[in-house]
Amino acid sequence: MAERNEPVAEGVFALRCQELKKSFQGVMAVTGATFDVPQGMITALIGPNGAGKTTVVNILSGMMKSDSGHMQIGSTDVTNWESHKIARMGLMRTFQLSRELGGLTVLENLLVAPQHQSGESLFNIFFRPGRAKREERENTERALEILNTYGLYDLRDKRSRELSGGQKKLLEIARGVMASPKILLLDEPMAGVNPALIDRIGGYIMDLKAQGMTIVMVEHNLNVVEKICDHVIVLAEGRTLATGRLSDLRANEEVVHAYLGEVINASTTR
């Protein structure tokens, strides 16, 4: 897994959040998260347990509504849009605990991902059957190419519930890619996988960036963050504590005290 060395793009943002807040039965989980995600870059969202990362991710993906604040994808205000509308804007997500469609095959899991398929329309099924079949054939070819890229081709006919934990992580990413997103939100893609697979996943993420995709990843592995992420957002106690490169954040006393401390220092000596 090669390290990135490109500068962060200035002034071009794929995603912007302003003063997001969310409480649960009076307990504040997010208390004013404000940050920008640079377009075409890999951004890490890090912070201690209880920092509000999961809540922020759920708000970004439309799975949860904020109590206040604003969110933009590009120039469009998408504050508290439903998840399917967020997806139509080009933001897709994966989950920390894989949510594969267990009864479907690996290939079928990818075939359900593209939006606005012709076969979803009864009109097309009855009056334009050739169009639907042609699109299905094209989607199948593309899905097989993606499975081959992610080392899942030989498992294409296997029920996804039968995959190993690491294979399910790969399937989640592959299914996200199949949807052709502009922004891919990865929730702890390295969690629970072996070191060799961590390097592979890191390489895949960097390849997606090279193709022009914007990546936002929640990640606790600071070695991975150091190697592949262009931009880091630190959350603590539900608010944005700091943003920048991980190397620069080492000098931020507030960040070190709140989260990094010995962990970040240890990462520099390995």
Q: How far is CA 72 from CA 15, 17, 89, in A?
A: 6, 6, 10
Q: 87 and 109: one domain?
A: no
Which of these three, 162, 192, 214, is where a domain ends? 162
What is the CATH classification number for the domain harbouring 225? 3.40.50.300
Residue 134 included in any domain: yes
- pLDDT given at position 260: 59
Which of these three, 112, 132, 162, is where a domain ends? 162
Give yes or no for residue 269 having a pLDDT over 60: no
Cα–Cα distance between 52 and 48 in angstroms, integer? 9
Cα–Cα distance between 151 and 230 in angstroms, integer? 26
Q: How confident is the model at residue 128 (pLDDT cuts 50, 70, 90)?
A: low
Q: 243 and 191: one domain?
A: yes
Residue 210 included in any domain: yes
Q: How far is CA 137 from CA 57, 104, 175, 204, in A?
A: 34, 18, 17, 25
Torsion of CA 40, 61, 234, 24, to 10 degrees: 170
- pLDDT given at position 9: 47
Cα–Cα distance between 270 and 98 in angstroms, integer? 30
Query: By three-state DSSP, how is residue 10 classified?
Result: coil
> Domains in the chain: how many in total?
2
Range of the domain at 30: 13-99+181-268
Q: How far is CA 125 from CA 20, 64, 120, 133, in A?
A: 43, 34, 8, 9
Q: 142 and 212: one domain?
A: no
Half-sphere exposure of 202 (CA within 13 A, CB side): 25
pLDDT tens profile 1-44: 555 545 444 557 999 999 999 999 888 899 989 999 999 999 99
Q: 193 and 92: one domain?
A: yes
Token couple for 267: 């990462």
Q: What is the pTM of this model?
A: 0.83
Q: 194 and 81: one domain?
A: yes
DSSP 207: H
Residue 174 included in any domain: no
Q: 199 and 144: one domain?
A: no
pLDDT tens profile 39-58: 999 999 998 888 889 899 99
Q: How confident is the model at residue 124 (pLDDT cuts 50, 70, 90)?
A: low
Query: By three-state DSSP, how is residue 246 classified?
Result: helix
Residue 175 included in any domain: no
Give CA angle at 214 (81, 243), nearest 5°. Answer: 90
pLDDT tens profile 144-183: 999 999 999 999 999 999 999 899 999 999 999 999 999 9
Contact by Cβ (8 Å): 71, 21: no
Q: At what angle do helices 165-178 and 129-149 cross, to 10 degrees?
A: 140
